[in-house]
Structure 1
Amino acid sequence: MVVGEIAQEKEVVVIGGGPGGYTAAIRAAQLGKDVLLIEQNHLGGVCLNEGCIPSKTFVHAAKQANRWGHLQEIGYQFEVNHFQFETYQSYKEKIVGQLRSGVEALCKANKIEVMYGHASFISENKLGIENGHHFEVVNFEQAIIATGAKPVYTLESETYQLNSRQLFNLQQLPKELILIGSNYIVLEAAFAYKALGTKVTLIMEEHKGFSFDQEIEKELRRQMKKRNITFYSGVKNVELAENENGVECSFVSEKNERTLISAELFYKEEEYVGNIEELGFERLGVSVDQQQFIICDDQGRTNIPNLFAVGDITGGPFFATKAIKQGKVTAEILCGKPSELDFTWMPEVIHTQPPIATVGMTEEAARSAGYSVITGTYPLLGNGYAMFSGNRDGLVKVIIEKESQRLLGMHMIGEGAIELISTAVISGEMVARDEDLIFPTYAHPSLNEGILEAMEDTLGIAIHKAPKKGKKVLNR
């Protein structure tokens, strides 16, 4: 190990080059700070290189398999309908490489020094960075810790068990796949692998459940049934064992029957802990919780005045959306700018087929919180654009507070939901009332009209939805 005689001097050091880290580095540089960004592996972090981008690229590829029937229906003819996994792998690597190069170029354009290696704190203002036999010391004024989180799980099988980073990065398609859990990773994998021909079984244990509004969950279950995804919910006593062809999974079903299924591979939803190993926190006394997540306030401040934290290292929910916003706000705070975080209207999106997007309160949560609510729903089956584009599955649901008529939540399942949910996010942030969403004109034909129809349904005046018997039109 070679130790540099002269330490570098930096105003801001960011440890971790994932979405939260590189966003914080760029924002601090925009505000005039001399920034050093330290990354142990590749810029973009787990999200770009192993998680978000590879998984969504795989989901995108799988989604196209569901389009063959519609394309033939409107006139296209194909002689071959075969998914070449090797071609897909090359495509995925190309996309990841291009995005990583983009992050590198942005850092360079913002005059951010990037250093690769493992960082550890020597003191509250000094870091050591080790890369092979090279060791460098950096003095800094402020630091942002963005080292992320890692999955931890009980190892049931060394051969047939996948972790979340392996699940969407296989070298070939499995014939059968068992998925145990209820989070977005499980759901995205279920729909994607099934679309490409894998036999998928989804198992949800009795203490687990979906967090969606009841109407969305009902439609989700219908879509799983439609696509022949075998689904068991409320099961208990799950046991896994290897056999010569893969793994066997046995459990007690809701009907109190012992069920046995087999598969080539399986994935079980994991827990996560913060990546703080070897950061030298014991030298500083940085406060962490039992899961090794850094304890900080809503502006990213830790208990050490000049140290901040952003992203997954601060605990869940583990969304890049959250990390990016934290990175921007924290950089602004340490640069002396007034800035704040509020995740009340942070959307959750799941790239199932069709996708799910949700923000704000569910109907159940709103009623439990004491609100008197009015709801409106609109099935996309009645939408002209959804009809001719072959995307008729899904619905839009809105929750309105009865007294003030303000929007409390919007929930969607259907093509375009992930893009459309921004309408609800902006509306919620602006404390929009029903009239604010009903008064504007909406492009026709478009999926956007589903939002208008759902809002109008709260008043009983939706045009393209048959009225329910006994439902009165509200004249407000």
Structure 2
Amino acid sequence: MVVGELTQERDVIVIGGGPGGYHAAIRAAQLGRQVTIIEKNKLGGVCLNEGCIPSKVHTAAAQSFQRMGPFLQLGLDTSGVTFDLPRLQQHKKKVVEQLIQGVIALCKANKIEIIEGEASFISASKIGVENGHQYDTFTFNDVIIAAGCKKEPIAEIHHHALTPTSIWTLEQLPSELILYGNDDFTLEAATTFNSLGSKVTLILPPEQHDFTFDPSINKELQRQLKKQKIKIYKAHTTPQFMFDDVQWEVAFEQGKNESVILESSHSYCAEKRKPSTESLGIQRLGIHLSDEGFIKINAACRTNIASIYAIGDITEGPALAVKAIKQGKVAAENIAGEPSECDFTFLPRIVQSIPPIASVGMTETEAIEKGFDVKVGESSLQSNGYASILGQKEGFTKTVTDAKTDLVLGIHIMGAQAVEMISTGTLAVEMVARHEDMLFPSYPHPSVNESMWESVEDLEGKAIHKAPKVTKQKVTSS
């Protein structure tokens, strides 16, 4: 290791160049601060290089492949369409590289310095950066920790098992694939590889035998997975994974005394996150941590040390890029003297499964548990004109409200264009919309968006494309 001769001075240092980190850096530069990013791997972080973008290249391919069937009714002969995984991998690498170069260009345009290496705190105002044999020290005025987190499998498993990142690097389509987990990434992988031609089996972990969506989506999702011939097991014991260099064997208990042994060419295990705080050396600074080791921050993304901020997966809350991006901007704005804060009460959740799922706000169950007098409206895509044109009639929109105030509490969508539509729902709940606020605007016709309109109309039993409920009349004899 070569130690730098002098400690260098910097204004704002961002540790980590993932989505939260580079958004924070650019926003701070826009507001007149001199910014340095320290990144030990690649700009864009796990999201751009291994997670969000690579996985969505695959889900987009699977969704497109799945839509080939309905194309015939539009006069498009797709009978000769085949799937080429190596070619998709080439496209993924091209997309990722283009996006990385875009981030680099934006940093350069904003005069952001990029230093390669791994950062660790020496004191509350000084960090060291190690890059191979080189070691430099820097003082700073403010620092934003955007270092992300580590991942570890939710069960003991052989190192040959696929992970939520390695599964998207396969060059050959698995003939059989067993997935263990019930999170969003596992669900995306299950429907994606099933659509592309793998025989998929999904094992739900003990005490996690349902997905964590609104009850209506959970019910429809179970139906959709069954329709897609994805076999689902509800494990009562943690599975044992055995690999003999050729084939996987997975053993677990389902129900009372029911032993299950499955065989497969490929196996996947979901992961849980672990904060990357030890290597940063923040323990010696006295930064407050949660019981799980995540950095505690306030609404301004500031830690208990005034000049140190933290954002993204290393902080408490869901591990979502949208959270990290918002936190990064908020931290930068506060550093630049512009009061700003985060509120993730209404954080949109999307899953690029088949069909896609998107939601924001409370589920029906959560609303009931919080004491609201809940009223719900639903609209099926079966009656939506544009969904019929597309041949994508699976799914629905559900609106959850408080019957006493007509306040919109949550919106849950499953089906075509769900991810694009949820922005409307997010704006509605953020702006404290009521039933009438969502009824008043005109929705474009024909469009899948009309399903949201009809779900709101259904709250009062006024949905046009939904048959009225039949009430049984009591017959009395004369």
TM-score, scaled relative to structure 1: 0.96
- The sequence identity of aligned pairs, in percent, is 47
Aligned letter for 1:115? I
The match for 1:378 is 379
Q: What secondary structure is seen at the aligned counterpart in 2 of 1:14?
A: strand
Aligned letter for 1:43? L
Q: Could you give the per-residue CA deviations for residues 322-366 of structure 1, whole angstroms, max 9, x where no partner exists?
A: 000110111111222111111111111111011000111111111
The match for 1:131 is 131
Q: What secondary structure is seen at the aligned counterpart in 1 of 2:304?
A: coil
The match for 2:282 is 281
The match for 2:262 is 261
Is 2:188 the counterpart of 1:192?
no
Shift of 1:15: 0.2
CA contact 1:272–1:291 (8 Å) conserved in 2: no
Alignment of 1:104-119 (within 5 A): 104-119=104-119
CA contact 2:251–2:259 (8 Å) conserved in 1: yes
Q: What secondary structure is seen at the aligned counterpart in 1 of 2:305?
A: coil
> Is 80-89 or 455-464 further displaced after alignment?
80-89
Aligned letter for 2:179? L
CA contact 2:301–2:341 (8 Å) conserved in 1: no
The separation in 1 between residues aligned to 2:316 and 2:350, in whole angstroms, is 18
Is 2:334 the counterpart of 1:327?
no
The match for 1:211 is 212
The match for 1:238 is 239
Q: Could you give the per-residue CA deviations for residues 272-292 of structure 1, whole angstroms, max 9, x where no partner exists?
A: 111123222243222323433
> Is 242-251 or 433-442 further displaced after alignment?
242-251
Aligned letter for 1:16? G
Q: Could you give the per-residue CA deviations for residues 158-204 of structure 1, whole angstroms, max 9, x where no partner exists?
A: 33x12221122222211111111110011000000001111100011
The match for 2:20 is 20
> Is 390-399 or 329-338 further displaced after alignment?
329-338
CA contact 1:355–1:414 (8 Å) conserved in 2: yes
Aligned letter for 1:36? T
The separation in 1 between residues aligned to 2:19 and 2:432, in whole angstroms, is 29
> Is 298-307 or 390-399 further displaced after alignment?
298-307
Evaluate the alpha carbon distance shift between residue 310 and residue 237 of structure 1 in structure 2; reply closer, same or farther with a 3 A threshold. Answer: closer
Alignment of 1:352-391 (within 5 A): 352-391=353-392
CA contact 2:156–2:241 (8 Å) conserved in 1: no
Shift of 1:60: 0.7
Shift of 1:417: 0.5
Shift of 1:232: 1.7
Shift of 1:271: 1.6
The separation in 2 between residues aligned to 1:152 and 1:78, in whole angstroms, is 41
Alignment of 1:88-167 (within 5 A): 88-153=88-153, 154-159=155-160, 161-167=161-167
The match for 1:251 is 252
RMSD between aligned residues: 1.6
The separation in 1 between residues aligned to 2:368 and 2:327, in whole angstroms, is 30
Alignment of 1:447-458 (within 5 A): 447-458=448-459
CA contact 1:203–1:235 (8 Å) conserved in 2: no
CA contact 1:38–1:119 (8 Å) conserved in 2: yes
The match for 2:296 is 295
The separation in 1 between residues aligned to 2:220 and 2:277, in whole angstroms, is 40
Q: Could you give the per-residue CA deviations for residues 282-321 of structure 1, whole angstroms, max 9, x where no partner exists?
A: 4322232343311222221212221110000003310001
Evaluate the alpha carbon distance shift between residue 41 and residue 370 of structure 1 in structure 2; reply closer, same or farther with a 3 A threshold. Answer: same
CA contact 2:301–2:342 (8 Å) conserved in 1: no
Shift of 1:222: 1.1
CA contact 2:156–2:240 (8 Å) conserved in 1: no
CA contact 2:71–2:78 (8 Å) conserved in 1: no
Query: How many residues are matched?
Result: 470
The separation in 1 between residues aligned to 2:236 and 2:345, in whole angstroms, is 33
Evaluate the alpha carbon distance shift between residue 394 and residue 255 of structure 1 in structure 2; reply closer, same or farther with a 3 A threshold. Answer: farther
The match for 2:475 is none
TM-score, scaled relative to structure 2: 0.95
Q: What secondary structure is seen at the aligned counterpart in 2 of 1:108?
A: helix
> Is 459-468 or 253-262 further displaced after alignment?
253-262
The separation in 2 between residues aligned to 1:79 and 1:453, in whole angstroms, is 36
Shift of 1:120: 1.3
CA contact 2:241–2:249 (8 Å) conserved in 1: yes
